Amino acid sequence: MSVQYKLRAEPMRPLIAGNWKMHGLIAQLAEIKSIAAAVVAGNPPADILICPPATLIVRAAELAGHRIAIGGQDCHPETAGAFTGDLSAEMLKDAGASAVILGHSERRQGHGETDAMVAAKANAARRTGLLSIICIGETQSQRAAGRTLQVCRDQIAGSLPIGMTPAELVIAHEPLWAIGSGHMPTAAEIADVHGHIRMTLVTRFGSEGRAIRILYGGSVTATNALRVLALPDVDGALIGGASLKAIDFDAIIRTVAASAPGWDQPADRAEPPVEVHDLDSSKRK
Ligand code: PEP
pLDDT of residue 264: 45
For residue 236 and ligand 1, the question of a CB distance below 6 A is answered with no
pLDDT of residue 267: 38
Percent with pLDDT over 90 in the chain = 83
Which of the four pLDDT bands, split at 50, 70 and 90, describes residue 12? confident
List, in order of start, the domains of the chain with CATH numbers: 15-283 (3.20.20.70)
Among 219, 279, 281, the mutation site with the greatest number of ligand 1 atoms within 8 A of its Cβ is 219
pLDDT of residue 284: 28
For residue 182 and ligand 1, the question of a CB distance below 6 A is answered with no
Q: Tell me how crowded residue 6 is: count the other CB atoms within 10 A of its CB.
A: 9
For residue 239 and ligand 1, the question of a CB distance below 6 A is answered with yes
Q: What is the mean pLDDT of the chain?
A: 89
φ, ψ of residue 51 to 5 degrees: the values are -115, 90
Cα 56 to middle of ligand 1, angstroms: 19
Q: Annotated catalytic sites, by residue?
A: 104, 174
Query: At residue 70, does pLDDT exceed 70?
Result: yes
Which of the four pLDDT bands, split at 50, 70 and 90, describes residue 109? very high
- Report which of 48, 36, 58, 57 is spatially closest to residue 6, judged by C-alpha positions: 48
The SS3 call for residue 101 is strand
- Report which of 102, 159, 158 is spatially closest to residue 130, judged by C-alpha positions: 102
Determine if the pTM surpasses 0.85: yes
Per-residue pLDDT of 167-226, as tens digits, reads 999 999 999 999 999 999 999 999 999 999 999 999 999 999 999 999 999 999 999 999
For residue 16 and ligand 1, the question of a CB distance below 6 A is answered with no
Average pLDDT on 106-128 reads 97
Cα 180 to middle of ligand 1, angstroms: 5
The SS3 call for residue 136 is strand
- Report which of 83, 96, 84, 16 is spatially closest to residue 55, judged by C-alpha positions: 96
Cα 220 to middle of ligand 1, angstroms: 7
Instruction: Indicate the burial class of 3 (C-beta count within 10 angstroms; 0-12, 13-18, 19 or more).
Output: exposed
